[in-house]
Amino acid sequence: MVPGADKRCITCLLDCIRGDSILHTYSAASAANRAENPLAGRATRFSADKSKSLQTPPSFLAVIDPVALQVVSRIRLPDECLAPHGLVIDVQQREAFVACVNSQNLVRVDLRTMRPFPGDPLPVAFNPDIVRLDHPLHLLFVGCAGGISIFDESGRGLKKLGSDYFLGGGSHHTIAIDETTQVIYLPQPSVGGRPILRVIKYVANGV
């Protein structure tokens, strides 16, 4: 659990779209299976008018009260982040990582100061989606349509490791990590005309 965090508060992603909003909420998980982490959970997306899909700044990382269903505070993301979508939190280091779809970059937010870290967002592969974290190794994986972008986030730093990795078969949107073995599971919709599940492992020389 993040020290000093209100147990009722969870983190969500709020996209401002021409005055309307698309809300990604992260539901508070049970203390039993989430180690009393009030910032962990699953995402639910509320639909918006598709005719207003052009996303422009500002966008926010918001903290909401899941009991009252009210936004209690907002963190403005850099204007270079367009269409924020994927989100993961390193509770130990008190950082949040947000993948921005339209601008194809990654924003890092300091949950100690509740502000984005200074500097430009880091580029990722085309059309980023899911963000996953291997907590023991402090490796950050961004699943994109154009490949997988990998970062070292140890010591509250952030360094991209190598080039983007493309494994063929189209989409790399979904990633699951077994943190006990560091095995990565990557379902892909079409390889040789059929869906497959890749089982891979990251090593220093590549995936």
List the alpha helices (DSSP H) in 55-177.
none
- Check whether residue 50 and residue 128 sit in a common domain: no
Domain membership flag for residue 119? no
Domain membership flag for residue 144? yes
- Check whether residue 53 and residue 128 sit in a common domain: no
**Residues sharing a CB contact under 8 Å with residue 45, sequence separation 6 or more, in sequence order:** 22, 23, 24
Q: Which two tokens stand for residue 89?
A: 């939190």
- Check whether residue 128 and residue 95 sit in a common domain: no
Domain membership flag for residue 109? no
Give the chain's radius of gyration (CA, Å): 17
Tell me the pLDDT band of 204, cut-offs 50, 70 and 90: low
- Range ranked top by mean pLDDT from 33-37, 111-115, 169-173: 111-115
- Check whether residue 87 and residue 18 sit in a common domain: yes
- Check whether residue 77 and residue 130 sit in a common domain: no
Domain membership flag for residue 1? yes
Q: By percentage, how much of the chain surpasses pLDDT 70?
A: 70
Q: Mind listing the pLDDT tens digit for each residue in 138-196? A: 999 999 888 899 999 999 999 999 888 877 666 777 899 999 888 999 888 878 888 88
Indicate the range of 23-27, 47-51, 73-77, 162-166 predicted with least confidence.
23-27
- Check whether residue 51 and residue 142 sit in a common domain: no
How much is the pLDDT for 44?
29
Domain boundary among 101, 132, 165: 101
Domain boundary among 39, 69, 101: 101
Domain membership flag for residue 115? no
- Check whether residue 71 and residue 154 sit in a common domain: no
Q: How far apart are CA 53 and CA 18, in angstroms?
A: 9
Q: How far apart are CA 105 and CA 125, in angstroms?
A: 8
Cut 0.75: pTM above it: no
- Check whether residue 52 and residue 135 sit in a common domain: no
The number of domains in the chain is: 2
Domain boundary among 101, 136, 164: 101
Domain membership flag for residue 106? no
Domain membership flag for residue 147? yes
How much is the pLDDT for 182?
87
Range of the domain at 17: 1-101
